[in-house]
Structure 1
Amino acid sequence: MGTWGPGPFDSDTAEDYLDELEEKSASGRLVAVTTTFRATTEDGTSSEILPEEVIAAAAVVAANLPAGASLEWSEDYSDVTDWLPKPVDPILASSAMRALENVFSENESFWRSWVNAEEREEARAELDRVKALLRSAYGGGSR
């Protein structure tokens, strides 16, 4: 896997996932991100889904929220804020958050894979930004 930055779309895996989403209609993207979230399990393990895909899917949802539309996501996917039907259902935002928590509450190996501690903290901050946007959509706190 190639990772070139701390953002949710800054890896080969995330970019491949986004390329697949880009080819779908808005309703097809909705199905795809929902399927990604359902593929996670409570213990964060799944042979079908990678952490970078979960982050990318959750960031797509966050980008399509009113507060997310004003943030810069990726110049390669500048139209990501228009990828999902509006308004985004709060249940989808909650599902995205639950998937992130499932994958990252037990997956410290993902965080240890960062060579540079500063970049690891930048990546955590980016993930926290996505989580904050998702929480704002459904009024949720941390589980």
Structure 2
Amino acid sequence: MGTWGTGPFDNDTAADWCNDLDDAAPAGRAGIVRGTLARVAAGEGYLEAPEADEAVAAAALVAAQCPGGEPPEPSYGPEQPLPDLTGLRPLALEALDRVMSEPSELLELWAGSDGASWRAGVERMRRTLLPRPPGEQLSLR
């Protein structure tokens, strides 16, 4: 697995998944994101790193469309427009919870040196995906 950073698109698997998403018909892109998240969220047993990397990338695309979300990495994220994915917030949260729970190969791989930075990035993404109570203002600080 080629990984060059701690961001959701900073690995070969996520970059390839984004390329596949770009190659898909526009009407099918939401289904690809949904399918990736659902597969991981519903999975049982050992979660392999490639599936987890794809789920983290998919969750990042959902989070990017939420208030306070970080835009996708321009070099390795998808280049084609995406439909509204905000309805996938609960599924994205479930998938991230699965990635961050044992047994997860990606969680094991990030137990080392840069693991704290990776976990912090996933936690920021989780907070962005959480529903906000009506009327709550997003702090820009």
Q: Please indicate the TM-score interval, normalised by the length of the shorter structure.
A: 0.7 to 0.9
Structure 1 runs of 4+ aligned residues shifted over 3 Å read 42-47, 77-82, 136-139
Percent identity, please.
32
Amino acid at match of 2:13: T
Offset, 1:37: 1.6
Contact 1:43/1:103, CA 8 A, preserved across alignment: no
CA spacing shift, 1:80–1:3, aligned 2, 3 Å: same
Which residue of 1 is the match for residue 60 of structure 2? 59
Distance 1:138 1:28 in 2: 31
Letter of the 2:72 partner, please give it: W
**What does 1:70-85 correspond to in 2, within 5 Å?**
71-76=70-75, 82-85=81-84
Output the CA distance in 1 between the equivalents of 2:133 and 2:5.
28
Partner of 1:110: 106
Name the residue aligned to 2:131: 136
**8 Å Cα contact 1:61/1:93 also seen in 2:** yes
Letter aligned with residue 90 of structure 2: S
For normalisation by structure 1, the TM-score amounts to 0.76
Q: Which blocks of at least 5 consecutive residues in structure 2 are unaligned?
A: 135-141
Q: How many residues align?
A: 132
SS at match of 1:136: coil
- Give the Å deviation of 1:30: 0.7
Q: State the Cα deviation string for residues 110-142 of structure 1 (Å, max 9, x = none).
A: 23324742x111110111111111113689xxx
- Larger helix proportion, structure 1 or 2? 1
Pick closer, same or farther for the CA change 1:36–1:45 going to 2, 3 Å.
farther
Alpha-carbon separation, structure 2, partners of 1:64 and 1:80: 15
2-side partners of 1:50 and 1:82: how far apart? 23
* Residues 32 and 138 (structure 1), Cα distance of their counterparts in 2 relative to 1, 3 Å cut: farther
Q: In the alignment, residue 62 of structure 2 is paired with which amino acid?
A: V
**Contact kept? 2:67, 2:128, Cα under 8 Å:** no
Q: Residues 93 and 137 of structure 1 are in contact (CA less than 8 Å); yes or no, is this contact kept in structure 2? A: no
Give 5+ residue unaligned stretches, structure 1: none
Aligned counterparts of 2:45 and 2:93: Cα–Cα separation in 1: 13
SS at match of 1:76: coil
SS at match of 1:75: coil
Would the alpha carbon gap of residues 3 and 101 (structure 1) be closer, same or farther in structure 2, given more than 3 Å must change? same
Quick one: distance in 2 between partners of 1:78 and 1:38?
A: 20
Q: Which amino acid aligns with 1:59?
A: A
Q: 1:35 to 1:78 in 2, by over 3 A?
A: closer
